[in-house]
Amino acid sequence: MKPKQTNEQIKGIAFGLGAYALWGILPLYWKQLQHVSSTEILAHRVVWALVFLFILLTVTRKLPSFLSEIQYIAGQPRKMRGILGAAIMLNLNWFTYIWAVNHDHIIQTSLGYYINPLVSVLLGIVFLKERLSLWQMVAFFLAAVGVFSLTVQYGRFPWIAFTLAITFAIYGLFKKMINIGSITGLTLETMLSFAIALPYLGYIYNTDNSSFQFVPSVTTLLLIGAGAVTAIPLILFAAGTKRLPLFAIGFLQYVSPTMGLLLGAAIYHEPFTLGNLLSFMVIWTGLIIFSLARTSFFINMEDKITKTWVKIVQPPL
């Protein structure tokens, strides 16, 4: 590998780890706003994320090209429908995550983001006609066993985990189908959400139900900061994906839910039994196999297994 490529990959790993580490500690941030309703937090997250993104576009001198791209996309109804669908899924995901964290379900959010890549693959099979390799099927089986075991232990269906997994997977599908730049897409999605979020914040402020005040306070500063904590990890993620192969990004993405799991169990003392740990270990095993399924080692092993199986079912005459 050339030194330049090595440096780019090191940068990619640093950016990727930075993004997932920030996502991993995000529950600590939302917990500071536990006294604020999840709907109000979400609305502020949308409004201040849009402000942050426009500041970023202005500082990086990308605002003119962004406006030109908007004009181009506005003339394509299919892309606009895709962006609207992505915005709806993203807001459902954000609301569920914030609500879950502030109602002591951090471990379930971790489960959701472990399940997410598997749901994404299923959507790829159904809508994009993608095919699974042998090892990806093995990974699916292991993950399904782990999730079923956790469901039995919970005694109820883990709806938070599946809502997070499904909404973010559908969001990713929309993003793949509309195929526009990450910052452009996020800004447009946020603009569509802004049209609802700002009037809602105005309504609760006028009815004295708002936690936001136009004077400095910890709550007000945290609500404003929600824009930055939303946008910065996404920017780091975009920088990382440009420099790393897909399997490396796929492997790094488990940093975030693992940190969330540790926070939920160790810091916030959510219930986590030995049975839960064993079930998560089965899921982790499946996800490691899933992440490495496209490497040469697993591809070569799959070829050997396939050839051996052919010999068994079709012995030579």
Note the helical H segments in the chain. 3-24, 26-31, 38-59, 63-74, 77-102, 106-128, 134-154, 159-178, 182-206, 218-243, 246-252, 255-262, 274-292, 296-313
What is residue 4's predicted lDDT score, i.e. its pLDDT? Answer: 63
CA distances from 288 to 124, 125, 158, 252 (A): 19, 20, 22, 10
**CA-CA-CA-CA torsion sign (199, 201, 205, 208):** positive
Position 196 scores a pLDDT of 95
Q: Could you tell me how far CA 236 lies from the centroid of its own chain? A: 13
Task: Please indicate, yes or no, if residue 315 is contained in any of the structural domains.
Answer: no
Q: How far is CA 108 from the centre of its chain?
A: 14
How is residue 29 written in tokens? 């941030």
- Residue 155 maps to a domain: yes
**Interior CA angle at 268 toward 264 and 272, to 5°?**
50
In a domain, 316, yes or no: no
Query: Is 37 inside a domain boundary?
Result: yes
Q: What residue numbers bound the domain in which 22 lies? A: 3-310
* Residue 272 resides in a domain: yes
Q: What are phi and psi of 293, to 5 degrees?
A: -60, -25
Q: Give the count of domains, the chain.
A: 1
99 within a domain of the structure (yes/no):
yes
Q: Please indicate, yes or no, if residue 139 is contained in any of the structural domains.
A: yes
What's the pLDDT at 313?
Answer: 66
pLDDT means per 10 residues, the chain with 317 residues, are 68 85 93 94 94 90 88 86 91 95 93 83 77 80 85 85 91 80 83 94 92 87 92 80 66 83 92 90 84 74 76 63
